[in-house]
Structure 1
Amino acid sequence: MNDLSGHTAGLAPDVLESFEKHRRELCAYAYRMLGSSFEAEDAVQETFTRAWKSYDSFEGRASLRSWLYRITTNVCLDMLDGPQRRARPMDLSGPSRPDSPLPAPQPDYVWIEPIPNALAFGADPADHASAKDTLRLAFVAACQHLPATQRAILIMREVLRFSANETAEALTMSPASVNSALQRARATMSKVQPTTSDNYDESDDDQRKLVDNFVKAFEAYDMDTLTSLLKTDVALSMPPIELWISGPENVVAFMLGHGSGCRDSRMIRLEGANGHPAFGHYKPSGEPGVWVPWSITVLELDGDTISGLNFFLDTDKLFPLFGLAPELREAV
């Protein structure tokens, strides 16, 4: 995906290096626009390809960063040329009964996908702190309710802090049109954004302990302890299955029913996904001492409770993205 051969002839190495310095922030921007980590990476690669091909026409009237954002925006708008928007299961229907039959999986383009922190956040912890709230699953899902151009304007103005003039130049619009679209985008977001949001802070000792206790309870399949960690309106979801469960009692009933294959699971702690705590989740294979991929598990926290259990089941795509092994084996 990062093969630059064929496009770099005649470009100075420092120009290519300057492109790469912006890769993560451009990937985060494209992810907010598209809702897919894979499509975001594709968008950034296409951005660099277009930038390499047209670098001779870059006149320097704007900064290189602004120019790359302009290209990325155009790439994303091209990719969003259609009515389909990505969503979370709770955006599409009401909660399911824990004993309801499991529906068939939906295509991957239906769903918001997780993105590894390492793809979206810079090396500076301060950048991480400022960016994570706008990479949360709930925020990215809310953005998908906006028309593509409004989405770009909202992200540029309120996340990236571009001026109205910079945004207008990137989108070939007037500043007045940008400001008008921003007001419409804000009005929509006020209706679709959750009133409470994940507030996970990896530096908070109590929240780290909460996450550790969740792992211990889940691996032990201790449902009493698990229940004590969950918020009263906790939501469990399992993309690509169009199903979600609400409330601790229903979550436990689901885990003891349809989810019972996860008993004796193993969880591998990841750097995080979307600024949330995340794990590579392996379930027993049936062969003693061997566990196989089941999900990328992403937790949402609200203070001292867990408000969201998100099990992303497309492990064929997601486990390589997060650098996870295809199986776990007990040490002999």
Structure 2
Amino acid sequence: MSRVGTGQSEEPAVVDAVRAGDEAAFAELTERHRRELHVHCYRMLGSFDDAEDLVQETFLRAWRRRETFQGRSTFRAWLYRIATNACLDFVERHPRRPRGALTTTPAPAGPASAAAFPQVEIPWLQPYPDRLLEPVASPDAEPDTAVIAKETIELAFLAAIQHLPPKQRAVLILRDVLGWPANDTAALLNGTVPAVNSALQRARLTLKQHLPQRRSEWAAVTDPSEEERAVLQRYVRATENADLAGLAELLREDARFTMPPKPTWYVGRATIIETWTPVLVGPNAWRDWRHVLTRANRQPAVACYVRPEGADRYHALGLDVLRIEDGAVAEITAFQPEVFPAFGLPLTV
């Protein structure tokens, strides 16, 4: 469990520089915490783009209120308080809730169009590039492995906590992810310790309802295994070769395929393959593919490009984020090309 240093005093010189309005000192202090605050806002909001905006809002609020920083807690903890409240203000101004059924129903028989059915829709959910997770820990803090632990950054967790009311979400993140004490959490939220403990219990129960049933069995390692890399390479080759049989071999029988922000889920190997068939081998299929391997939310991902007939460049089609279990693909979440810039990926190659 990570600790954000809520009780550790800041150096007097730092306090004086910040409160005196030393812009250079303030910028240096805030920038060293930018990435971890971005991850925090991302958990709160589920959106990479919104998190970018809220970090900027956090720094702006901090600068305007710099005289309120007394140094009784760390500058880092002070920023976390501002960021959390900025996120809560954001969701109050822009209320949004997941829509659709909670439980997956069996895929109906029939053509692929009939096998698509509404599930939980979180249209604002975006992936987080792993390359931006590496420098998260701030230099003046203990190693923050919990801040970027796989189980609290993976898409399943991010989707599940979007079901929580905003303050319950904040309590869960502060207490269970960041390791804030109950009294500090209560002070941040202008509440009481009993209220925080009650909110945490309710949040944990709701979270359990919305997480996949077998989630506790997933591997907790953050580095890709040889098996995972091999599956990813086979996935790419099968797609480029329009090998539907090869893709079917890679998918679990109960695999799921989703495409945020579309409120449509495809469940089951046969359903997914039937859905992909027109894209790979139909008369209007994409014939020329190119892929770039990457990682998102501590999961393997593939950036997909296609070259239309007669074109001289490949165009971004989407980013597939995979969850691999026991050498098979259990889930694929396909995001729109709008997420490519965050991954440092071009829209054409």
**TM-score, structure 2 as length reference:** 0.81
Letter in 1 for 2:157: F
Letter in 2 for 1:213: R
Q: In the alignment, is residue 79 of structure 1 matched against residue 97 of structure 2?
A: no
What corresponds to 1:220 in structure 2?
241
Q: CA deviation at 1:101?
A: 7.6
What corresponds to 2:9 in structure 1?
none
Q: Find the aligned partners of 1:102 and 1:325 in 2 and give their Cα distance.
A: 33
Picking from 125, 146, 154, the partner of 2:172 is 154
CA gap of 1:114–1:262, structure 2 versus 1, over 3 A, is farther
1:22-79: CA deviation from partner (whole Å, max 9, x where unpaired) = 1111111111111100001111110011111111220111211111111011111111
Q: In the alignment, is residue 66 of structure 1 matched against residue 89 of structure 2?
A: no
Letter in 2 for 1:232: E
Mean CA deviation greater in 229-238 or 109-118? 109-118
What corresponds to 2:268 in structure 1?
247
What corresponds to 1:291 in structure 2?
314
Mean CA deviation greater in 128-137 or 241-250? 128-137
Listed as ranges, the matches of 1:94-173 within 5 Å are 99-100=112-113, 110-122=123-135, 127=145, 130-173=148-191
Q: Find the aligned partners of 2:122 and 2:199 in 1 and give their Cα distance.
A: 26
Mean CA deviation greater in 43-52 or 191-200? 191-200
Letter in 2 for 1:264: D
Letter in 2 for 1:113: Q
Q: Find the aligned partners of 1:49 and 1:91 in 2 and give their Cα distance.
A: 38
Preserved contact between residue 90 and residue 244 of structure 1 (Cα < 8 Å): no
Letter in 2 for 1:190: K
Listed as ranges, the matches of 1:258-277 within 5 Å are 260=281, 261-270=285-294, 272-277=295-300
1:208-233: CA deviation from partner (whole Å, max 9, x where unpaired) = 21212211222222111211111111
Give the 3-state SS of the residue equivalent to 2:174 in structure 1: helix
Q: Find the aligned partners of 1:126 and 1:232 in 2 and give their Cα distance.
A: 37
Preserved contact between residue 256 and residue 330 of structure 2 (Cα < 8 Å): yes
What corresponds to 2:202 in structure 1?
184
CA gap of 1:102–1:223, structure 2 versus 1, over 3 A, is closer
CA gap of 1:184–1:128, structure 2 versus 1, over 3 A, is closer
Preserved contact between residue 265 and residue 281 of structure 1 (Cα < 8 Å): yes
**TM-score, structure 1 as length reference:** 0.85
Give the 3-state SS of the residue equivalent to 1:324 in structure 2: coil
Aligned residues: 314
Q: In the alignment, is residue 29 of structure 1 matched against residue 54 of structure 2?
A: no
CA gap of 1:85–1:14, structure 2 versus 1, over 3 A, is same
RMSD of the TM alignment (CA)? 2.9
What corresponds to 1:19 in structure 2?
30
Give the 3-state SS of the residue equivalent to 1:122 in structure 2: coil
Listed as ranges, the matches of 1:19-58 within 5 Å are 19-58=30-69
Letter in 1 for 2:191: M
Q: CA deviation at 1:308?
A: 1.0
Picking from 314, 319, 331, the partner of 2:340 is 319
Preserved contact between residue 24 and residue 121 of structure 1 (Cα < 8 Å): no
CA gap of 1:247–1:181, structure 2 versus 1, over 3 A, is same
Give the 3-state SS of the residue equivalent to 1:59 in structure 2: coil
Mean CA deviation greater in 126-135 or 319-328? 126-135
CA gap of 1:48–1:126, structure 2 versus 1, over 3 A, is closer
Picking from 212, 218, 228, the partner of 1:207 is 228
CA gap of 1:135–1:259, structure 2 versus 1, over 3 A, is farther
Picking from 279, 301, 310, the partner of 2:302 is 279
Preserved contact between residue 35 and residue 86 of structure 1 (Cα < 8 Å): no
Q: CA deviation at 1:257?
A: 2.3
CA gap of 1:298–1:20, structure 2 versus 1, over 3 A, is same
Q: CA deviation at 1:126?
A: 7.4
Q: In the alignment, is residue 232 of structure 1 matched against residue 253 of structure 2?
A: yes
Max radius of gyration: which structure?
A: 2
Q: CA deviation at 1:12?
A: 4.7
Unaligned runs of 5+ in 1: 1-7
Q: Find the aligned partners of 2:261 and 2:202 in 1 and give their Cα distance.
A: 31
Q: CA deviation at 1:288?
A: 4.9
CA gap of 1:129–1:172, structure 2 versus 1, over 3 A, is closer
Letter in 2 for 1:178: V
Q: Find the aligned partners of 1:192 and 1:111 in 2 and give their Cα distance.
A: 17
Preserved contact between residue 36 and residue 136 of structure 2 (Cα < 8 Å): no
Give the 3-state SS of the residue equivalent to 2:263 in structure 1: strand
1:280-308: CA deviation from partner (whole Å, max 9, x where unpaired) = 21122222553211101111122311111
Percent identical among aligned pairs is 37
Letter in 2 for 1:53: R
